[in-house]
Amino acid sequence: MATGKQIRNAKEKIDRSRAYLLDEALTLLKEGTFAKFDESVEVSIRLGVDPRKADQMVRGAVVLPNGLGKNVRVLVFAKGEKIQEAEAAGADYVGGDDLAEKIQGGWFDFDTAIAAPDMMGVVGKIGRLLGPRGLMPNPKVGTVTPDIARAVSEAKSGKIEYRVEKAGIIHAAVGKASFDVVKLRENLLSLVDVLMKAKPSSAKGIYLKKISVSSTMGPGILVDVADVQAAVR
Cβ contact 100:126 at 8 Å: yes
Question: What is the DSSP code string of 89-122?
Answer: HT-SEEESHHHHHHHHTT----SEEEE-GGGHHH
For the whole model, what pTM was predicted? 0.82
- Given a cut of 90, is residue 185 above it in pLDDT? yes
Query: Residue 127, SS3?
Result: helix
How much is the pLDDT for 1? 47
- Given a cut of 90, is residue 5 above it in pLDDT? no
DSSP E strands, 37-92:
40-47, 59-63, 74-77
More confident residue, 3 or 73: 73
How much is the pLDDT for 140? 87
Averaged over 111-137, what is the pLDDT? 95
Read off the pLDDT of residues 149-179 as tens digits, 9 standing for 90 and up: 999 999 998 899 899 998 899 999 999 999 9
- Split at pLDDT 50, 70, 90, the class of 233 is confident
50 burial class (0-12, 13-18, 19+ CB within 10 angstroms)? middle
Cβ contact 45:211 at 8 Å: yes
Read off the pLDDT of residues 189-205 as tens digits, 9 standing for 90 and up: 999 999 999 999 999 89
Read off the pLDDT of residues 204-229 as tens digits, 9 standing for 90 and up: 899 999 999 999 988 899 999 999 99
Average pLDDT, the chain: 92
CA–CA separation, 170 and 165 (whole Å): 6
Alpha helices by DSSP H, the chain: 4-12, 22-31, 81-89, 97-104, 120-124, 127-130, 148-157, 181-197, 225-232
How much is the pLDDT for 195? 96
Averaged over 67-88, what is the pLDDT? 95
